[in-house]
Structure 1
Amino acid sequence: MLIGDLGWSLRERSVQELFKVHLMRFSQDATLLNILIGAMPALIALTLGPLIGAWSDRTRSRYGRRIPFIFGTAVVTATGMLGMAFSSTLAALAVCWTIFEMATIVGNPLFIALINDTVPRHILGRFFGLFRIVSLATGAGFFALFFRNELVSVFQPLLVAITGVYLCCMLLVCWRVREPVCETPAQRGGWLPVQPGDAQWGRLFAAVSVGALAVLPININALNACAQFGADAGDFGSAIALTYAISILLAWPVGWLADRYHPLRVGAVVLSAYAVCMLVAWRLVDERTGFLLALLVHGVLAGCYLTGTVSLLPALLPRERFSQLAALSASLTALLVVVSTVGLGALLDATGRDYRLLYLAGALTAGCGVLLWRGLLKRYL
């Protein structure tokens, strides 16, 4: 599973940033960037995620109920990555990116579901902490070694190499991981995206969605924001590598805290800290050093939030319908992402691309998330 995590993380940490670099050769429009990175993938998740999740939950095969889907999405993902590597027009790049996103959006929850099916629940937090260590180490290595000002010149061979590593790791997962036998027959209503009684999860899904939404403004737009504050691609790569190195040291302790005190408590504390720090950044950041420091704080706190809360849905949702319910949660997130990213992109273009607004957007969204998470603490704990 951890070898699979290596390939999965290399794809997660690198491909989106490489796509942004390649996209800037054709367009620097903020609305287009936020649509391609935020809104378009969210629409895919909104339509495909719950259906594929329900299909996987009901599948009974000699290879398991997750592995067949993981295999298929890995092959399609690799196809999209290779297409991006050889795209020479904006239209071709956008099409290949769409194929890539369709496969990754479907495949990501299934990979988490495979972990949920195979790892004992009492160590899920620590396993995901170890999972994050592998992921962060992979990202730190990528940004430290390759993310430099001359990245454009090595874009194609680098993306091809990443594709090969990713595909080999995921095929190894499909070959060697054995899912536990699931004997319970699927209920007839399993294909419905929403079933009676699912409304009980609405508050939980809303809190998870807003928390995920808070870190998106900077995650999507930080690379394009570098020029406003006098930073370059090398500065960006070094800052992200340092962020991941710090997060590696924190991943296991944060995973332990999630097991010891519950992901809800960890998430509420970290999201509160994020809201305060981004509000301070909005007021103070106006040059290169401040921008890079804010980027570092954002990355560390976002990483702590993800590490501390990644085991939340596995801890609370029933395993027999986990994939479908997790996809339903992702669909709500997707709906909010569509609205927020399109709106943010339009706002940035309307204000002459004043990227200081990213901090304000993150702070306000995180503040709303804190209120929702406090409500969850009262309900579940």
Structure 2
Amino acid sequence: MAGLRARPNNGRGETAVRDDVAGARTGRAALLVLCALLLLGDLGWSLRERSVQELFKMRLLDFSRDATLLNFLIGAMPALIAVGLGPPVGAWSDRTRCRFGRRIPFIFGSALIATAGMLGMAFSTGLATLAFCWIVFEIATIVGNPLFLALINDTVPRPVLGRFFALFRIVSLVTGAGFFALFFHNEAAAVFQPLLTMIAMAYLGCMLLVCWRVREPPHVPVPADGWWPRADTDGKWWRLFAAVALGAVAVLPININALNACAQFGADAGDFGRAIALTYAISAVLAWPMGWLADRFHPLRVGTVALAAYALCMLGAWQLVAGRTGFIVALVAHGVLAGCFLTGTVSLLPAVLPRARFSQLAAVSASVTAVLVVAAAMGLGALLDATGRDYRLLYPAGALAAGCGVVLWWSLWRRELPPRP
């Protein structure tokens, strides 16, 4: 009965062995509490991420249907903010040493400002005020989002990061599915103010609880080597950052413009809400398997396959979508495949970037993404306006970006990963 054979304790007493077992149980319990707190923070974070942008788009339609303005406010403007604020704030956070940690102070401040921006949007009565509050909100979220992910990277053990981020995505997707199924319909504009106020308060409560109860581990000093990675020592990161950027840009055309595209295909806000709710429900079921695949095979492999499937899907939609049913099916397929890509690769940067400089390097990655987003969003908005807002162009635009991304992801796969046995 070799499987039941007692293991030697190497001369250690029974008390020491019992202490080891108790310590392991305490460690597991502490990890479970930590994960529960972070997932509760994810609940508020996801409610904000999944709902506020679409509510803002719906409110913006009351003032303007200009595609260039929409793509600037949703795509280019946040990207410009990320380029200007991301790297210095990330480096500042990496080097911060205070009694509250190096992430918590920034998360706390950004949560307060984001809440103020949401409340401002809720009570705005004009385009200028609405746009200003949106910009304030975006500044806070652009600063806070990578630092919340950095807090997870600092506290969750790396061997389980893929599965934790799968849970993270499940909470996010279930939250989004619930929001779109229950609240996003043709009458949502009538309850815009109380709905956005409720979301702001729920988000603030969850993030304050994270700031109060989560404790960061001690960190070694970080060298003060500037905001940007050096080409001689960190050149390998630039290829990775470019690959991440192309993946983000590929899903951008439909993510930004799908709600405005509904009318061209005979769909309405209710159809859109139901399609997104279904998308999130399917993605939630797939999230854990995708996280397992990322841990088992590496996020680079998972990302390459998912992005290739997305490119093929968008090419098919370009040729086949003509009416309401095809548009809704393509919207759900877009969301599911984009979700597979995001879930399968969300642990990529935490898995490969050094923890001591994670926030700085992640912010630089976001800045590279932002540069491409600015060009893609403004170019796409101008193209749509120039063609009379023909939203069928969203499909070849996504396919082209995804195809370019596949080439770069494949090259990274072949260059950086050893062959599987």
**Aligned counterpart, 1:200:** 236
Is 2:351 the partner of 1:327?
no
How far is the alpha carbon of 1:378 from its aligned partner? 1.1
Is 2:392 the partner of 1:356?
yes
**Aligned counterpart, 1:128:** 165
**Aligned counterpart, 2:222:** 186
SS of 2:390 mapped into structure 1? coil
Q: Distance in 1 between matches of 2:201 and 2:109?
A: 16
Pairwise mapping of residues 313-324 of structure 1 onto structure 2 (< 5 A)? 313-324=349-360
SS of 2:125 mapped into structure 1? coil
Moved over 6 A (4+): none
Instruction: Identify the match of residue 303 of structure 1 among 325, 329, 339.
Output: 339
**Aligned counterpart, 2:46:** 9
1:24-81 Cα offsets, whole Å, 9 max, x none, are 0000000000000000000000010000000000001111100000000000000000
Q: Which has the larger radius of gyration?
A: 2
- Equivalences, count: 379
1:173-218 Cα offsets, whole Å, 9 max, x none, are 0001111111x122132x4333352222111000000001100000
**Aligned counterpart, 2:73:** 36
**Aligned counterpart, 1:369:** 405
**Aligned counterpart, 1:211:** 247
SS of 1:60 mapped into structure 2? coil
Q: Distance in 1 between matches of 2:224 and 2:233?
A: 15
Is 2:111 the partner of 1:71?
no
- Residues 227 and 360 in structure 2, CA contact (< 8 A), matched pair in contact too: no
Letter in 2 for 1:16: Q
How far is the alpha carbon of 1:287 from its aligned partner? 0.1
When normalised by structure 2's length, the TM-score is 0.89
Is 2:311 the partner of 1:275?
yes
1:116-160 Cα offsets, whole Å, 9 max, x none, are 000010100000000000000000000000011011100000000
**Aligned counterpart, 2:11:** none
Q: Distance in 2 between matches of 1:135 and 1:350?
A: 36
SS of 1:197 mapped into structure 2? helix
Pairwise mapping of residues 138-153 of structure 1 onto structure 2 (< 5 A)? 138-153=175-190
Is 2:196 the partner of 1:159?
yes
Letter in 1 for 2:305: V
SS of 1:252 mapped into structure 2? helix
Is 2:295 the partner of 1:259?
yes
* Uncovered stretches (5+) of structure 1, i.e. residues with no partner: none
Letter in 2 for 1:348: L
1:286-343 Cα offsets, whole Å, 9 max, x none, are 1000000000000000001000000001111110000000000000000000011000
**Aligned counterpart, 1:248:** 284
Q: Distance in 2 between matches of 1:194 and 1:320?
A: 13
**Aligned counterpart, 1:239:** 275
Instruction: Identify the match of residue 107 of structure 1 among 144, 147, 154.
Output: 144
SS of 1:156 mapped into structure 2? helix
**Aligned counterpart, 2:329:** 293
Percent identity over the alignment is 74
- Residues 222 and 357 in structure 2, CA contact (< 8 A), matched pair in contact too: no
Pairwise mapping of residues 20-31 of structure 1 onto structure 2 (< 5 A)? 20-31=57-68
